[in-house]
A and B are shown apart, each in its own frame.
Chain A
């Protein structure tokens, strides 16, 4: 065994994602979200995290997946970023996994576009693949993700 890392995992549209455990501040159930009109679509709104106002990013939108069905309440994975805490909205929380660095592989060449910047690679777990998400990149709002403002 060379080196291992710990990941906090969650599901998005049946895909398993992992973020480095040390970037995660906390995981909480769905909170009331205040919408921000005119905001980039990926911003689902603002939440009150014990007196701190935190931006909630809809990860499905950010990762260009299908929108979350209305009956699935979102979970908040609150991660630390350069600009304070950001909450990533996900479908379901998975386990904390410890993976060996040797199971890591770069994303396939066929994965391209905006998503490739955020997904740094894949850990080949026994039964399935875990996509490694770069939270910093996920929290950054690229200019092209801002909808045209009237």
Chain B
């Protein structure tokens, strides 16, 4: 390889590493026990040292070398990282950085070789008070063994200290290991072959508390006397340690060793995209083969195609994974962003992150970066108050910015919350009127939450002064547009004086989405699941009467509210013959969809199934057709179009006509249950009782055949949409007698009918509640309440003249062990607005 290129790679890599070193060292100072971080720091310096030796930068190598020696002893626990040592090590990092700069500009590592720094680093290798204890002897000789026989002498001079502290001797080998130049006498090579594991096992055992330091010393002494057995074996033989502890420690050490080996390589994104396309084709070919093999009586062919089926599925999953990246990659820049913005406005802000490891498709990560940055800046700039204002209101001077990401129902939620001033609904109202965004009449009917979300409308900025950070009237609407572009949603909740939470919901990937496949005319259409609310099927008699007309416009009464109906075949101008098709079935299939913030019912000929579909964009010849978002290839190789629900709604004029109605609807559903009507799902409880949950807590109703239920410990689980869904049985949750409970922990009876399952998502937990029988969906005022008489029940209400127990979902999660106790308590307060 070209020497220059090697140097350039070295410089790039090293400067990345040095930045991390700064951070790690500061972190280690606060938490010196973090051995992982210490090992990381050590590796970085070791790599730099090794590479400069190879490239011939001797001065740089010298500096890195003394640093490495100090780090070795710190890593091995012989020394403790005190502020003095941290400062010296940071000094070394600066020196290395300086020299790298020198190399970059002149190609040489400069004239200075930092004698003082090296002196300090060397001196600091002498253990002082507070260190784990170490030989008081010639420290420099220990860590800087000159080549040749002296190395051996020094090894032999060690036993004296070994008796004092076995850890030191047990761990000293890595020091020698860092000096592969040492000559290999027979004894030396013999030892180094075994020692990395042996030495660390002693320490690992002591760390685990499985062995006393004194006992380890005895074992080491034994070995010193010529016992060729391993330390662990000696300890076990003497009854000083348990065999299983030794095995466990050994495994731990070995895993650690394996983990340190680099196991990733860089691959071009283009290649991954190409792979993704090819896998898509493979999957289709597989689907076609499966169809053929089903029609051919050939056991061999069947077996092979089944096998191909499995492999293709797995391959597809793995290739998808290669495109996934943790959201932490985007977040990594936020501490710096927050620091800069906070500094610029004279604020103090602490940033906290949860769920950094949550993974998203690469393309989504890229698309979400700017909107998130904007939201973070906004929170610091507008949300969090100045320290003096905060102190006055009794808040800590430093504001808190919390980033949270988690998966929920095939989507990723990202929350950005601050404990700042919150939004002032009065000011938003005033501003909205001033700007003419809404009329006074509309405003009067809006819920608080809707008013808050007005700030996402174009040209809306409530900042009192325009700062150079944000507040130029652009922003929130751009955030919303960008998030919606990738099929996401933005929602904002705020309490005046307490803070603001913006929640961004985005799909995991744009490449493959769950969709409902429907038939209309002779073709199939896919409807993205994110737009789907529910399905309604009107059978023969109902079909004729339930669809009513408002001056020629068809509507359906969905739980008492008028739902405008859109006939897909009419909207798409499909031929009349297909129209006849629809009526021959005598049933009306309504797909209730959400477009923007309005609902409408789409009437289709037939509802097929939900499927994961691979989204392919439409070419420019078809870009003018706003009704379709893309296309996809179905299992039989035919192409199906993906409906753009918003585009369709606009075409059918759903969007403008029902604006006011939707406002009313939202207001109604947002009101507290004690004031108005709420919709409940009724189901049979234990014995003769009736139970209910608010319908808005329900994600879906499903029927699972018993054969699909698997056991995970004592729990029932099933595979659902690529995830493991814990099944919580109402009978178990409600059972208070422990003796009966045990009987219920058995697997389901294979002969029983399919399970009725209410699938719910709650605070990031998905679960299925298994009930005996689903009774009805009713609207009722839940205002006659009485206190709960048992766990898992919120309270009893009278619905339809019968006492009905309302389930306490957080409590169920807690009883069944799905969520922690604290989470349940917090979640209970928000149950009204969940989902």
Contacts and interface: CB of A to CB of B under 8 A. Distances in A.
B146 interface: no
A44 to B, nearest CB: 11
Chain B contact patch, size range: 20 to 34
Name the residue among B285, B621, B625 with the largest chain A CB count within 10 angstroms: B621
A50 B281 CA distance: 6
Interface stretch (B238-246, B475-483, B632-640): B632-640
A83 B633 contact: no
B357 to A, nearest CB: 32
A111 to B, nearest CB: 24
B280 interface: yes
A36 B641 contact: yes
B637 A35 contact: no
A51 B633 contact: yes
Contact of A51 (B277, B573, B627): B277
B522 to A, nearest CB: 8
B740 interface: no
A51 B628 CA distance: 19
Contacts of A47: 639
B573 A37 contact: yes
B624 interface: yes
B375 interface: no
A35 B637 CA distance: 15
Contact of B621 (A32, A35, A50, A139): A139
A35 B521 CA distance: 11
22 contacts: A32-B638, A34-B639, A36-B628, A38-B627, A39-B621, A46-B639, A46-B641, A48-B284, A48-B637, A48-B639, A51-B280, A51-B284, A51-B633, A52-B277, A53-B639, A54-B619, A55-B619, A55-B621, A55-B622, A139-B621, A141-B620, A141-B624
B574 interface: yes
A56 to B, nearest CB: 10
A39 B633 contact: no
A89 interface: no
Interface in B600-653: 616, 618-622, 624-625, 627-628, 631-633, 637-641
A39 B622 contact: yes
A37 B638 contact: no
Name the residue among B523, B622, B631 with the largest chain A CB count within 10 angstroms: B622
A38 B619 contact: no
Contacts of B574: 37
A34 B638 contact: yes
A36 B628 CA distance: 9
A122 B525 CA distance: 43
Contact of B631 (A46, A51, A84): A46
B784 interface: no
B625 A34 contact: no
The 7 A-B pairs at the shortest CB distance, nearest first, are namely A51-B281, A37-B572, A34-B639, A46-B639, A53-B616, A141-B621, A55-B619
Name the residue among A32, A35, A43, A57 with the largest chain B CB count within 10 angstroms: A35
Interface string B14-48: 00000000000000000000000000000000000
Contacts of A131: none
A39 to B, nearest CB: 5
A86 B619 contact: yes
Interface in A78-113: 83-84, 86
B639 A40 contact: no
Given A38-B573, A53-B633, A84 B619 contact: yes
A40 B621 contact: yes
B525 to A, nearest CB: 9
Interface string B638-679: 111100000000000000000000000000000000000000
A47 B640 CA distance: 10
Contacts of A53: 616, 631-633, 639
Nearest to A35: B523
A125 interface: no
B409 to A, nearest CB: 28
A117 interface: no
B622 A34 contact: no
A43 B573 CA distance: 15
A39 B627 CA distance: 10
Given A53-B639, A55-B621, A141-B621, A38 B284 contact: no
A146 interface: yes
Contacts of B618: 55
Contacts of A84: 619
Contact of B619 (A34, A35, A48, A83): A83
Name the residue among A46, A50, A86 with the largest chain B CB count within 10 angstroms: A46
Given A48-B284, A51-B280, A36 B622 contact: yes
Given A38-B625, A51-B633, A53-B639, 6 more contacts: A38-B627, A45-B639, A48-B637, A53-B616, A84-B619, A139-B621
Contacts of A146: 624
A103 B669 CA distance: 76
Given A48-B633, A51-B633, A34 B620 contact: no
A148 B303 CA distance: 53
Interface string B68-104: 0000000000000000000000000000000000000
A35 B616 CA distance: 16
A47 B631 CA distance: 10
